[in-house]
Amino acid sequence: MLEKLLITGAGGGLGALLRGNLSDVAKTVRLSDIVDIGSPGAKEEVISCDLSDRDAVKALVEGCDGILHLGGVSVEKSFDTILPANIVGVYNLYEAARAAGMPRILFASSNHTIGYYTQDTHLTADVPLRPDGLYGVSKCFGEAIANLYHDKFGQETAIVRIGSCFAEPRDHRMLSTWMSPSDFVSMIECVFRVPRLGCPVIWGVSDNDGRWWDNSAAAYLGWRPRDNSEAYRRKIDAEQARPAPDAPDAVYQGGKFTAEPIHS
Amino acid sequence: MLEKLLITGAGGGLGALLRGNLSDVAKTVRLSDIVDIGSPGAKEEVISCDLSDRDAVKALVEGCDGILHLGGVSVEKSFDTILPANIVGVYNLYEAARAAGMPRILFASSNHTIGYYTQDTHLTADVPLRPDGLYGVSKCFGEAIANLYHDKFGQETAIVRIGSCFAEPRDHRMLSTWMSPSDFVSMIECVFRVPRLGCPVIWGVSDNDGRWWDNSAAAYLGWRPRDNSEAYRRKIDAEQARPAPDAPDAVYQGGKFTAEPIHS
Amino acid sequence: MLEKLLITGAGGGLGALLRGNLSDVAKTVRLSDIVDIGSPGAKEEVISCDLSDRDAVKALVEGCDGILHLGGVSVEKSFDTILPANIVGVYNLYEAARAAGMPRILFASSNHTIGYYTQDTHLTADVPLRPDGLYGVSKCFGEAIANLYHDKFGQETAIVRIGSCFAEPRDHRMLSTWMSPSDFVSMIECVFRVPRLGCPVIWGVSDNDGRWWDNSAAAYLGWRPRDNSEAYRRKIDAEQARPAPDAPDAVYQGGKFTAEPIHS
Amino acid sequence: MLEKLLITGAGGGLGALLRGNLSDVAKTVRLSDIVDIGSPGAKEEVISCDLSDRDAVKALVEGCDGILHLGGVSVEKSFDTILPANIVGVYNLYEAARAAGMPRILFASSNHTIGYYTQDTHLTADVPLRPDGLYGVSKCFGEAIANLYHDKFGQETAIVRIGSCFAEPRDHRMLSTWMSPSDFVSMIECVFRVPRLGCPVIWGVSDNDGRWWDNSAAAYLGWRPRDNSEAYRRKIDAEQARPAPDAPDAVYQGGKFTAEPIHS
Amino acid sequence: MLEKLLITGAGGGLGALLRGNLSDVAKTVRLSDIVDIGSPGAKEEVISCDLSDRDAVKALVEGCDGILHLGGVSVEKSFDTILPANIVGVYNLYEAARAAGMPRILFASSNHTIGYYTQDTHLTADVPLRPDGLYGVSKCFGEAIANLYHDKFGQETAIVRIGSCFAEPRDHRMLSTWMSPSDFVSMIECVFRVPRLGCPVIWGVSDNDGRWWDNSAAAYLGWRPRDNSEAYRRKIDAEQARPAPDAPDAVYQGGKFTAEPIHS
Amino acid sequence: MLEKLLITGAGGGLGALLRGNLSDVAKTVRLSDIVDIGSPGAKEEVISCDLSDRDAVKALVEGCDGILHLGGVSVEKSFDTILPANIVGVYNLYEAARAAGMPRILFASSNHTIGYYTQDTHLTADVPLRPDGLYGVSKCFGEAIANLYHDKFGQETAIVRIGSCFAEPRDHRMLSTWMSPSDFVSMIECVFRVPRLGCPVIWGVSDNDGRWWDNSAAAYLGWRPRDNSEAYRRKIDAEQARPAPDAPDAVYQGGKFTAEPIHS
């Protein structure tokens, strides 16, 4: 069990889903975001931090023996928005971790690193990257940094290409990409529990019938997702029209992100 | 849900197993065969048709927005028997579909397209074909036509290499090849439900313990078979001797078909 | 050395290129076509034959210990034209060969069995087929027949997916697909010389700098092409405009065949 | 069902776990070891045998129609200890089997044939061997003998690379490598039941969440393990410290065997 | 032939080797660098440009129909040095190209994107990235951008992972990684000549006996390197000691870069 | 350059071909065999040694910084003949090398480790072993020992699966398997020259047109064979009949060895 787990981006959607559910992972949780995230609860600390501020990140990481890096921009934005948060910020985080004894990191990467693969393609963890926007490119950068620090210094990272982590799948595409919060929690437990992590790529997806991604290479982590989006198909079918065959949500794994312009 | 699903070969064994179980797939079902198939039930139409008659097929397909192509010869026969039904007939069907707005097709291909692989070989969907008779060759032809019409016109087809679809597995080999009618129905639902089908190869087999075929590449369809032939092992063992180690039923995936001569 | 080599389709372009160059392969050559091919030269026989005539083909094959099957339609045509020549004809040929002691066959298949792969794809011999027209589909049928007769009876066939066999490459695409007549002759020598042929797929292409196809799997035949289309690049560049990036000749391996309609 | 199953090494740990549980496999069991294994029970025979004694092994095998070869050294020892038991002994066994009509053999190979792969590597059955000691090397020898006798004579062997077969997993590494006795019994049933076995490699491991090994290639045997080491994680965590990240038990699949010296 | 080829980084070592040798590629060459590169020669333009200046890059690219992007930092440096040149600069370049009608780009990537693979590993173009420093990470970023702009807009890029491009190989490692200037020139000609480029990865290496990289996937470009570093082995052996077996230059493909610290 | 290269089995055929041609590899050569090999020449030592004598091997290896292990039985023999020479002997050699500072070893393995693959199969270095006799099994053992000592101690070995090394190819099969003595010498030079060898498998075969084996994985050694058996085809064809299609020399890569019995 970790002494203190840092969660960056704790004020975002993922942070909210996880907060309070990691008591089996760490004795204390240090929550951080650039936005206000309220007061700490029991066994919580709260520290406000801008990831692009190198010294602030260094202070933030110090004293933690595990990091859940959810911070930064998580949707398609302009390059000027993504650069400080997702590129400079990731570099800062890894330098800070190196200075702090290299606590294990779970890096929230994204399916948008491979979003231009079509939905009829079955992906293993070692396929070439095909990002679907500048956000996806920034996650490719982060994955490269994670590999570099592993090869050069031994820093361990779980690179988690998250599909769609919400309480429930919200549209037809998410029937393939959904990861339940409960499955994410059990994955986090595996990542911080395994004696030797290395630097694996893990597809962040539940045991959905229509999944696109193959986690065989990461089976050694012992993570077995239990939820299945199929339970929500009827509800989604009732509420929404299925996407047209040529809609981005039906063609590409990255869905609507592939239809985003480059934001200026 | 489809407006009208055409089922060719509706008078055969497969057709009988499916008839009446596709109410979640289509509002109306148009049943067709060259043999008499009795009177239509509720929400059924019956049209007699010889697949080698180009104009008749054109008329048959018109007005349908989905096709379950079970028609043609389904056992080893002479070339002269197979040619009109399975070669000319398939060409006619695809031309008719093209004229009718390209309704999605489920093409009943067969394990006999790969019947000469030995039973200790694990097959993915992209292995080279090894047909075990003229029937198997005709299904290779059909798969080529399906791919052509997909690449050239965008016609979508689910190429289903059916193992053995019966109410129960009937011999020891079928413990590996059996697909339950119920699993076939759920596959059909997936095929006509997915927003974008493309032209996948699907192994038509239940979740049998001793299966030979790997459906990973088609996982995006969301089909997860639920039945397992293992439930029938004891019964088959009680009723039949196991095949000898050198019997076609024990050596080749295509079983006895590999021992058939070329019929004249 | 063969006693008597049958060449079907001897009146076509390929036949003309090879005629007279196979004296190291066979003592006598039996030339056949449905069209008139003139009088036999020394060590030649000429027999007119319609490949769709089962008995005629049987008589044609009798007495030969090798077959170079170039016959049939070799461009995109209507189904009604392709059916007798390339489907019925191939079946007739293999049945005739079986009756005649199974002389080794070199079957002229075509790059049009895989014509819908894009030109930036590197193909090995075991990729799934993607025909670009009914002609290509008929060659897929022929390959399936060749495999069937090999697996069932031991009939050996060299399945040669010919690129573009002319005296010189004729356009930019052929800089990738060209096979020189001299390289084809040396391949034929290898095919009829190797003690055990089996049923390999061979890409019929010279040692062109810009080749798309990988013959590693057939290296055991000992065929090493010596010519390179690069010698003709300057000439072709001088005479023709390069195809536009979106022209079929620049996009697909099958080139213009992919732009052909289904002929009626 | 077998008439008489020979179990070599019946006095060892594996033998003890299996003894009495194979009544669905064979009518009679012939138990053998070099050490004393007590008196035979019902439907049992006991024969003491030194595997390095060629004639004794020949007599031992005679009259059996199945062999479970658990005998020999099963831990790291000096070469002089391993040579007679695991190298000479295996040769003797296969020669004896050949003389006795080639009863089917289940050969207890070991994960120590591949022990130097790191734990973050997912292995299929066809990876190159990387033994972690002289014991592992002797099992590589045995696998080579099994393949030779299969290719040359048709002798069938199930090469089972056993992980850790105990009543319960005993340490953290075994959460990945554990095979329950019950799963081993069901595998033995499959091996002696399938009409045609061939010479497959089977990973001997239960359905553990954190498994490293992929049994797809052997799926045709119909073996589906039912147990999962996860049920014991809490207990092991309570009783033992997790291995350090650089401990052999955390780095290599072979665990502590990789840290063994060459014994003299 | 191009009307106007932009060469960024023209003042660097690569630029110097190529300058004056591209008259078969473009009628005019626009040379650019942040450092002074002297006066333009015949058919040359010179424009000074800082790649991190978005507007300047836009002006620089305008009017060019081909880009050879050699600019930016090409050795290991601090993050603050690499960020503007290799990250912001690449983004600026692709945005400028998009505004200018998407002239084809040859992007000088580097073997340092995969520098942590050991030298006994044979790499194809689709292996996962393993950068050996921040410079390598920045090239991973550039490759991701190139793929994004190809998938989203159709912008074509040749991603060239240059080994060591000098007049001669300079040390023992370069006997594996060397690309002769003449081979680079012929590659550039291929890249700008092929009707449809796509977005391939090309290993920039001559036909060295001890090469590590496999260009099969890019064979369609028609590039066949003619030089071989072996001609220089004797000279290098005479002048330098071979690296020790544990020296970075003997262990890793990236050589000494793997031993660089993170610069601050 | 080595100070002293030990050649075991120096009195055999391979030894005779190499003796006197390794002056670029080592200053002195220590020749050893169990049979008499005459008097040493200049820069030669001769030591008689039985490889099954542990102490004698230890003395033999001492003082050498490279080993060319050609010793032991090199044809199919009884187990009792092969055991001391090829199994005990190899173990002795590696233990002696370990005691002597781990001089680099070139281990003469054999194509008979994979002799049961058919000749139409293209093999890379990582295929599962399929030995064709007890000799081949003993070489599998040796390869396992080589890997063990590499993984456990860092001992480097070039595992060379020699085809047929004679002055000229001697029969039709050798047109595929021949390695010229000159190509073997250049390979030996590469093996002892490369700074870091590791433990690669190298196919010992010249650049024959009809080769079966792919050395891509070992390309980093910089070995490029220059000879081609094709130069001898006419001569062999003139002197010998080609093997029948079902003769072992035409079916299996191991040729006649597959037809050998187990010798007693």
Alpha-carbon gap: E203 to the closest alpha carbon of chain C (Å)? 15
Q: Do the domain assignments include residue F264?
A: no
Residue C222 to residue F163: CA distance in whole angstroms: 16
What's C213's DSSP letter?
B
What does the pLDDT profile of chain C (264 residues) look like in tens digits? 999 999 999 999 999 999 989 999 999 999 999 999 999 999 999 999 999 999 999 999 999 999 999 999 999 999 999 999 999 999 999 999 999 999 999 999 999 999 999 999 999 999 999 999 999 999 999 999 999 999 999 999 999 999 999 999 999 999 999 999 999 999 999 999 999 999 999 999 999 999 999 999 999 999 999 999 999 999 999 999 999 999 999 999 999 999 999 998
Task: Specify the residue for token string 């800089």.
Answer: C175
Torsions phi, psi for E222 (to 5 deg): 80, 20
Alpha-carbon gap: C60 to the closest alpha carbon of chain E (Å)? 41
**Chain B residues close to A122, C-beta within 8 Å:** 216-217, 219-220
Q: Quick check: C151 contacting B, CB < 8 Å?
A: yes
Inter-chain contact F208–C222, Cβ cutoff 8 Å?
Answer: yes
**Structural domains of chain B, count:** 1
Residue B237 to residue B250: CA distance in whole angstroms: 15
pLDDT band, residue D74 (cuts 50/70/90): very high
Window 93-112 of D, Cβ < 8 Å to F: 95, 98
Interface test with B, best of D190, D220, D223 (most B CBs within 10 A): D220
> Quick one: pLDDT at residue C150?
98
Q: Quick check: D79 contacting F, CB < 8 Å?
A: yes
**Chain C residues close to F243, C-beta within 8 Å:** 195
Q: Which of A91, A94, A135, A149 is catalytic?
A: A135
Q: Quick check: E251 contacting A, CB < 8 Å?
A: no
Query: Side chain identity at D107, as an amino acid letter?
Result: F
Residue B163 to residue B142: CA distance in whole angstroms: 17
Residue F162 to residue F142: CA distance in whole angstroms: 14
Q: Do the domain assignments include residue A187?
A: yes
Residues in chain F, overall count: 264
Q: Are D246 and D226 in contact (CB under 8 A)?
A: no
- Contact residues for B84 (Cβ-Cβ < 8 A; gap 6+): B51, B52
pLDDT digits (tens, 9 = 90+) for F160-198: 999 999 999 999 999 999 999 999 999 999 999 999 999
Q: Do the domain assignments include residue C7?
A: yes
Window 190-209 of F, Cβ < 8 Å to C: 208-209
Inter-chain contact F136–D147, Cβ cutoff 8 Å?
Answer: no
ipTM beyond cut 0.85: yes
Average pLDDT, chain D: 97
Inter-chain contact D116–F151, Cβ cutoff 8 Å?
Answer: yes
pLDDT digits (tens, 9 = 90+) for A146-179: 999 999 999 999 999 999 999 999 999 999 999 9
Q: Please report, rounded to a whole number, the percentage of residues in chain E having pLDDT higher than 70.
A: 100
Is A116 catalytic? The answer is no
User: Structure tokens of F82?
Assistant: 């092969």
pLDDT along chain E (264 residues), means of 10: 97 94 96 94 96 98 98 97 98 98 98 98 98 98 98 98 98 98 98 98 98 98 98 98 98 98 96
Average pLDDT, chain A: 97
pLDDT band, residue F157 (cuts 50/70/90): very high
Output the CA–CA distances (angstroms, integers) from residue E52 to E56, E86, E137, F156, in the order listed.
Answer: 8, 8, 18, 49
Residue C219 to residue F199: CA distance in whole angstroms: 27
Q: Do the domain assignments include residue E213?
A: yes
> Quick one: pLDDT at residue B106?
98
Q: CB count, 10 Å around CB of C193?
A: 19
Q: Quick check: B57 contacting A, CB < 8 Å?
A: no
- Contact residues for C35 (Cβ-Cβ < 8 A; gap 6+): C11
- List the CATH number of the domain containing E102: 3.40.50.720
Interface test with F, best of C220, C223, C224, C226 (most F CBs within 10 A): C220
> Quick one: pLDDT at residue F128?
98
> Quick one: pLDDT at residue D111?
98
What is the pLDDT averaged over residues B230-240?
98
Q: Are C146 and C94 in contact (CB under 8 A)?
A: yes
> Quick one: pLDDT at residue A213?
98
Q: Do the domain assignments include residue B264?
A: no
Helix (H, G, I), strand (E, B) or coil at C203: strand
List strand residue ranges (DSSP E) for C111-231, in order: 157-162, 164-165, 178-179, 201-204
Inter-chain contact F129–D116, Cβ cutoff 8 Å?
Answer: no
pLDDT band, residue A66 (cuts 50/70/90): very high
What's D147's DSSP letter?
H
> Quick one: pLDDT at residue B250?
98
Q: Do the domain assignments include residue A264?
A: no
- More confident site: C233 or F20: C233
pLDDT digits (tens, 9 = 90+) for C235-251: 999 999 999 999 999 99
Q: Quick check: D147 contacting F, CB < 8 Å?
A: yes
Q: The pTM is what? A: 0.97
Alpha-carbon gap: F196 to the closest alpha carbon of chain E (Å)? 5
Q: CB count, 10 Å around CB of B23?
A: 11
Nearest CA in chain D to A219: D210
Domain that holds residue D210: 2-259
> Quick one: pLDDT at residue F117?
98
Residue A248 to residue A117: CA distance in whole angstroms: 11
What's B213's DSSP letter?
B
Give chains near D: 3+ CB pairs under 8 A: A, B, F
Element (H, E) at C68: strand C66-69
User: Structure tokens of A168?
Assistant: 């429930």
Q: Quick check: B222 contacting A, CB < 8 Å?
A: yes
Chains A and E touch (3+ CB pairs under 8 A): yes
Inter-chain contact D176–A200, Cβ cutoff 8 Å?
Answer: no
pLDDT digits (tens, 9 = 90+) for D19-65: 989 999 999 999 999 999 999 999 999 999 999 999 999 999 999 99
Q: Do the domain assignments include residue C191?
A: yes
What is the pLDDT averaged over residues F208-230?
98
Inter-chain contact F245–C200, Cβ cutoff 8 Å?
Answer: no
Interface test with C, best of E220, E223, E224, E226 (most C CBs within 10 A): E220
Nearest CA in chain A to E248: A152
> Quick one: pLDDT at residue F58?
98
Q: Quick check: F58 contacting D, CB < 8 Å?
A: no
**Chain D residues close to B172, C-beta within 8 Å:** 195
Bridge partners for E253 per DSSP: none
